[in-house]
Amino acid sequence: MKEPVIKKEHAVELLNKKFIKVFDLNYAEGKHYFDATRRDRDDIIAVKTPEELSKALPDAVSCFLIIETPGEEPRLLTCEEYRYPIGRYVMGVPAGLMDSRDFDKPEPVIATMKREIKEETGLDVKEGDRIFELTHMAFMTPGFTDENNAVVCAVIHLDDTSTLTQAGAEGTELFNGFHLLTRADAERVLESGKDDNGVYLPFITWTAILYFLSNRWKEK
């Protein structure tokens, strides 16, 4: 079946707020689809050519952060972060919106993620640590929004975990501690689909656990 071609003139703005916009994608006569996005009309994903999409930056970056400490097995770092649309703390991973200060840097995704790791965990990515991009653009819920995340993995070596802190949280961010998951912990959480408070997992956290358990991070 031929796919609809959505042009800029097909995108009609219905809502324009500081952190969210809604467009009516009038993709054919009498046919409508709605797109919630952070992007301006000329930058929404639906109107980009394949070439433009290949050069586009993601909206945000999420990190699968693995901690290695002497004498202990590797652990996946997760954090309890309050998510307002859900109305409770959920088990999340370090993440944040792309920062315009990084757009012109050689690796803008990595630069943004290093800053988010520092803000949300207190950790620096040091010489000897590893940080690498897994995917440049993963669409989150494409039936509702064009929002997308780059996904990064970081493997950080620590003498101990005493330097972990969430004191760098900014704006509306609310944190309530860390969970460092061993393989056994990760298997248990994955099996239940919930954290230890009985709250269902965000999909990005579910994916982080799968990646951690796959050991693919050891091969990069």
- The 3-state secondary structure of 173-206 reads CCEEEEEEECHHHHHHHHHHCECCCCCECCHHHH
Q: Can you give the pLDDT at residue 29?
A: 84
pLDDT at 121 over 80: yes
Of 65, 59, 60, 61, the closest CA to residue 211 belongs to 65
Query: What is the chain's mean pLDDT, rounded?
Result: 95
What is the mean pLDDT of the segment spanning 44-55?
A: 94
The token pair that represents 220 in the structure block: 């990069």
Taken as a whole, the chain contains a residue count of 220
Task: Render pLDDT for 20-41 as a digit per residue (tens, 0 to 9).
Answer: 999 999 988 888 999 999 999 9
Strand locations in the chain, DSSP E?
Answer: 11-16, 21-28, 31-37, 60-68, 75-83, 88-92, 95-97, 130-139, 148-157, 175-181
Q: Can you give the pLDDT at residue 42?
A: 92
Q: How far is CA 58 from CA 11, 87, 129, in A?
A: 20, 26, 24
- The rounded distance, in Å, linking the Cα atoms of 125 and 118 is 8
**CATH 3.90.79.10 domain locations along the chain:** 60-218
Q: Can you give the pLDDT at residue 177?
A: 96
**Sign of the four-CA dihedral 163, 167, 173, 175:** positive
What is the mean pLDDT of the segment spanning 130-138?
A: 97
Percentage of the chain lying above the pLDDT 90 cut: 88
Q: Please state the pTM of the whole predicted model.
A: 0.94
Dihedral, CA of residue 126, residue 129, residue 133 and residue 139, to nearest 10: -80
Determine whether domain 60-218 maps to CATH 3.20.190.10.
no
> Is 174 strand, coil or helix?
coil
Q: Find out whether 32 and 12 touch, Cβ atoms under 8 Å.
A: no
Please list, in sequence order, all residues whose beta carbon lies within 8 angstroms of the beta carbon of residue 115, skipping any fewer than 6 positions away.
96, 99, 102
Q: Find out whether 209 and 100 touch, Cβ atoms under 8 Å.
A: no
Q: Can you give the pLDDT at residue 133?
A: 98
pLDDT at 86 over 90: yes
Where does the pLDDT of residue 198 fall: very low under 50, low under 70, confident under 90, or very high at 90 and above? very high
> For tokens 């693995």, what's the residue?
66
Q: Can you give the pLDDT at residue 57?
A: 97
Q: Can you give the pLDDT at residue 74?
A: 98
